[in-house]
Structure 1
């Protein structure tokens, strides 16, 4: 059918684009990739609802022969009526309280796009139980929302009004009897994120909450260091959050009360003389210095403001309060990390970190020592709150310029920072000198453990590394050109085979027949190259016995054969089935011994 053409003067018809609802719901629900993100969204919604108590719980339950992960998210906030529940279920629909409860403090509203709650749709069953204190509670459930969305259908929600008595009974059944008939909301999610347990471990969840949710806000530290007062910080500081993740120890059935606010060292520690009592070699391991700048205007947009906390923390001081940092010689734990994987300069909004921008201030300061945050309420985040890439580039440049200026003029030039850098430089110089001394002793000891031999009056040491072996072969070959059955023309120990050789002993510019040679201090049954294109192996010694199998990097196997020549010397080959050639093995120490060159301990 041909498209309709409009005649001259005729008005063009209007068309309103449509949204494929099921596809949009599904894409947004799957856009949240980390299981713990459901807790970030739940905390934001609870605080927006002026909750004073929050319970977060994970458990595993078997139903009809199948194991399910159950996530319960509960608060004592203002709750929802039927209209509020419908908005909660809708896409891009968000209803927030117009004012705090009587006597309450107004809070920032962090949920506004109506996308975050769609994270609950990535589940096999969703239930909502809520009460706003009006006398009628609401119960809602969706059966297999993930499955429905995968078939192109928008899941149908069953919403019913229930009595306060029914509300109390359901809360008791779910383990939240303390709410009784008070306002609040409970969300139960069954089979979330393909029933994934990974990421829901208790310690890992606690760490996530303290880093990447509103409950882990770093605003209390800003207020304390910058000496400013903010009502919301004091309000949330008196609220409570209880957590029970998977594998909680020592009492799996008990909640842990998680304090409000991001974790920092309790106090600054800048007196290096005192810090030397903890570590005389590197006192900066326990150094802590914090700067804070509240409500700072941007350079090019002074009507827009940022908050900025910048701390220098030594690794030792950091480990005093953060038990999720990986420890050397200790067993790995789910979710542990190194300082460079977590610390640095974070940019975010609502005092929740979103992305790291270490390069803004790391040109002169190691970012692994930084514990820094920048907050801007003008950022535009992606739907899953995982990136600031939707923010206009001009605003990002302005924020960066402002942060750089504050750092250069008010941190870098401060007396404490200058003293820190001076001490750091002194420690680095001392460490470098100590390492040089240690390296000298180590190499001297290695030299004493070697053996020595003379070839045509020139001393050579036995090899300990492939580099040693290359030097030995090159030196001996220059003095005894006919020692090897080929001449090695090129050495490269960085990539591929170590040597490129020719059978002809005469150096010819137009030589085209080359062969690859691999050098090994010790030949083992596991060969870390392929046999393909390899002609020979030169080793100092061999641990492979006659008849044993040698495997190459590609899994190809060959048999190690040792035979005797008519002159009594031994010939060694790796015989590879279905290969046009075998790999010759030359034990260089044995070859030298046949020429009367014997290596003896240096002391002899």
Structure 2
């Protein structure tokens, strides 16, 4: 048994890498990438609480195992034996495991080297600015036990079951890890085999959540909805009855060139699909939406790592599920973004990808998926208009009759527009216009203007008239008192001497003088109220007396 300390000049770098993790599930991304690099055909992910009740994540594979030098590289910083320029070329990823209480690594090679490695209290040590030690001891060689197992105990996060449970693990693996790669779609492009290992092979993934007692075997390939360009109707959907189940695939697109003497290529694959299809392949986290999940992703090693929003201008970008892969992308230390966006190679990738999206993908999506959606939207609008007409005709019978034979309007107002119409009708009728005091003629009406009407009084002076269904509405709307001289309403629904503040902060008081309602602002302004309901009632009374 021997003790070792990782090789690094500054302890704080370890802590910073472990601490800056964006998503705790990234430890699965790192673990599965290592399993994949070790040529594993089967990978198991287990979560459970051990005998000490410590939350434990265990990753097992049947890869080629780790020799002693590989073990040291696992714990050292900036030390990687990868010869191809892939996601893990900097040897930083495994350091995110250090934010835990204990790391146990068991490995066995085909050459019958077997080791057990234990690192105790790595996070506690780093917080004390001390490099944690790891103990390596020879392990018993067992027949058929080639591969590696990594056990991470008490990863330092609150509520670990929230992040590491069956559904979230499965979703993350299939979307953002080497076990959710889309490389098999491009296995026929032989030149890519120089840069990506095992292009045609997808590992089998076994997920076991012993806390929830759930387990499943899945194929380690990225999830796309099944093609369905002539979908059946979803009877439970209101508008998008067919397009909700639509899915069309695009690709595989492969482009390559030479820039500054170097081979550069990129690949695109993806879909355009309806809501049901997108829901079926994504387990959204709390607060996450389909709009925030779907769109265009950049990928390296055919593993998506970040969304790229400016490659498509379509506001319906989230209906797309497009992945753009290039080995020309260099990643930031946390592997969640691109660090060389200004590189000539990357600019070429983006320019050519835009051409494919704009010239090939968007036209096909527009002619297929979005054509169906437009048709469904039009059909829905027509049906809604018809429904609302029937609804209105039905409600028409419930409106009280006005009961004035002199007027062509037969129903009492129930909104501001009806009050305006009734006011204009009374004003235009020779038998009734005298019932409106103060106002001689209507000049102009606009429901969008600051004041509804410009009218003329009997001296042909311009006056401002505000129309409301109920008088109280004038205090709910944005009407400074200087913007109206008169109020026309159907009914006065305030008490006499009641005071109300309007939008400009001034207080108006409702008074009644000589059987007329008035709004007063001190002695500075008096605003007469023309109550049409009262005028109609008076007109009814006169008609009864004549009869």
Q: TM-score when scaled to structure 2? A: 0.68
Secondary structure of the 1:384 match is coil
Hey, what's the Cα distance between the residues in 2 that align with 1:537 and 1:258? 74
Q: Deviations over 1:508-528 (max 9, x none)?
A: xxxxxxxxxxxxx9xxxxxxx
* Alpha-carbon distance change, 447 to 310 in structure 1, aligned in 2, over 3 angstroms: farther
- 2:206 counterpart of 1:242: yes
SS in 1 for 2:321: strand
Q: Does the residue aligned with 1:207 lie in a helix, a strand or coil?
A: helix
Which residue matches 1:351? 302
Partner residue, 1:187: 151
Aligned counterpart, 1:125: 102
CA separation in 2, counterparts of 1:312 and 1:350? 23
For structure 1, the residue ranges without an aligned partner over 5 or more in a row are 1-18, 99-106, 169-178, 326-333, 508-520, 522-528, 539-564, 568-587, 599-604
User: Is contact 2:465-2:484 (8 Å) kept?
Assistant: no
The gaps in structure 2 that reach 5 residues or longer are 1-7, 428-435, 439-463, 469-474, 487-492, 494-500, 515-528, 539-547
- Structure 2 residue aligned with 1:53: 42
Residue equivalent to 1:584: none
Structural RMSD (CA):
5.0
Cα deviation, residue 263, structure 1: 1.6
Sort the Cα spacing of 1:531 and 1:89 in 2 relative to 1 into closer, same or farther, 3 A.
farther
> Residue 499 of structure 1 aligns with which residue?
478
Whether 1:163 and 2:149 are equivalent positions in the alignment is: no
Instruction: Please name the residue that 1:80 is paired with.
Output: 66
CA shift in 2, pair 1:445/1:235, >3 Å:
same
> Is 1:140 matched up with 2:99?
no
The answer to whether the Cα contact below 8 Å between 1:131 and 1:185 also exists between their aligned partners in 2 is no
CA, structure 1 residues 323+402, in 2 after alignment: closer, same or farther (shift >3 Å)?
Answer: closer
Is 2:254 the counterpart of 1:305? no
Question: How far apart are the structure 1 equivalents of 2:508 and 2:35?
Answer: 70
CA distance in 2: counterparts of 1:422 and 1:497, whole angstroms: 43
Change (3 A) 1:56 1:535: farther
Matched, 1:115 2:66: no
1:283 matches 2:242: yes
Q: Is the 8 A contact 1:44 1:214 kept in 2?
A: yes
- Are the aligned partners of 1:126 and 1:190 in contact in 2 as well (CA < 8 Å)? no
Distance of 2:10 and 2:176 partners within structure 1: 30
Shift of 1:398: 2.0
Q: Secondary structure at the match of 1:198?
A: helix
Q: CA deviation at 1:533?
A: 5.9
CA distance 1:139–1:385, change in 2 (3 Å) = same
C-alpha displacement at 1:356, in angstroms? 2.1
Greater shift after overlay, 132-141 or 209-218? 132-141
Structure 2 residue 195 is the aligned partner of structure 1 residue 217: no
Deviation at 1:351, TM superposition (A): 0.9
User: 2: CA distance between counterparts of 1:241 and 1:444?
Assistant: 61
Structure 1 residue matching 2:27: 3-state secondary structure: helix
Distance 1:436 1:204 in 2: 43
Tell me how far apart the structure 1 counterparts of residues 114 and 124 of structure 2 sit (CA, whole Å).
31
Per-residue CA distance 1:566-601 (angstroms, 9 max, x = gap) = x9xxxxxxxxxxxxxxxxxxxx9xx98788869xxx
Tell me if 1:434 matches 2:383: yes
Distance in 2, Cα, partners of 1:474 & 1:147 = 78
Alignment of 1:580-595 (within 5 A): none
Indicate the larger mover: 204-213 or 117-126. Answer: 117-126
Q: In structure 2, what is the equivalent of residue 512 of structure 1? A: none
